[in-house]
Structure 1
Amino acid sequence: MIRARNLIAAVLAALLAAPPADARPRAPKACRAEIGAVRAADLVRACREAGPAMPALCRPETPCAAMREAIEAACQGPGSEAKPACREFDDEDDDDADGDD
């Protein structure tokens, strides 16, 4: 009887100590899975054009938000207005500001 109680107590303690499956941190979603292969390829192209020093970041497996942040950072420096990706990025930002999505 005492062994059974100890076993039940141990099992309950283990169950209560484990975080629920949905509470575990998830890996960020790949951009391709988030927005589709075609749009992800466009974002990868823009990322590579804006910041060619970051090829490991500019991949379809990278989260879209990370690539957008990299593009934004690369487009802050002098001469960035000459990069097509930066002009496209500015145009997208202007569209968002209008609220006419």
Structure 2
Amino acid sequence: MNRFRSALSTLILVAISAAPSSGQPSPDRGAVACRDEIGPVAAKRLAAQCRDASPATHPPCNVVNPCAMMRDEIERSCRMFRASSPLPADLCAAGRGP
């Protein structure tokens, strides 16, 4: 029984240490965080636009993710809602920044 408890304790410690320390997702290994690519202010603006556009329950709209990932989510949402047009035209405009 003690061996089982010891193994279980070790497994729990490994699981806890492997979990992210913050509530924010971490970017893919090797990918540049959007806040590092375009700066924190522009990245926050892009993340907000992404959240406004995305119907996903857990969209990739976070400054620690690559900017391209958030832009792709905005484009995907615009394509998905093109027929019903609930999204603002400026959000779905081609070439829109940041």
Q: Percent identity at matched positions?
A: 37
Partner amino acid, structure 1, of 2:46: L
Aligned partners of 1:95 and 1:39: how far apart in 2? 13
**1:44 aligned residue (24, 29, 47):** 47
Residue 94 (structure 1) shift: 5.5
Which has the higher Rg, Structure 1 or Structure 2?
A: 1
Residue 54 and residue 68 in structure 1: after superposition, are their counterparts in 2 closer, same or farther (change >3 A)? farther
* Aligned-CA RMSD value: 2.3
Q: CA deviation at 1:37?
A: 0.7
Q: How many residues align?
A: 67
Runs of 4 or more above 4 Å deviation:
none
- Of the candidates 75, 79, 82, which is equivalent to residue 76 of structure 1? 79
2:90 corresponds to which residue?
Answer: 88
TM-score of the pair, normalised by structure 1: 0.56
Structure 2: runs of 5+ lacking an equivalent? 1-28
Question: Which runs of 5 or more structure 1 residues have no equivalent in the other structure?
Answer: 1-25, 97-101
| Kept in 2: contact 1:48–1:54 (CA 8 A) | no
Name the counterpart of 1:20.
none
Q: Deviations over 1:51-85 (max 9, x none)?
A: 14253511000000010001100111232x3223x
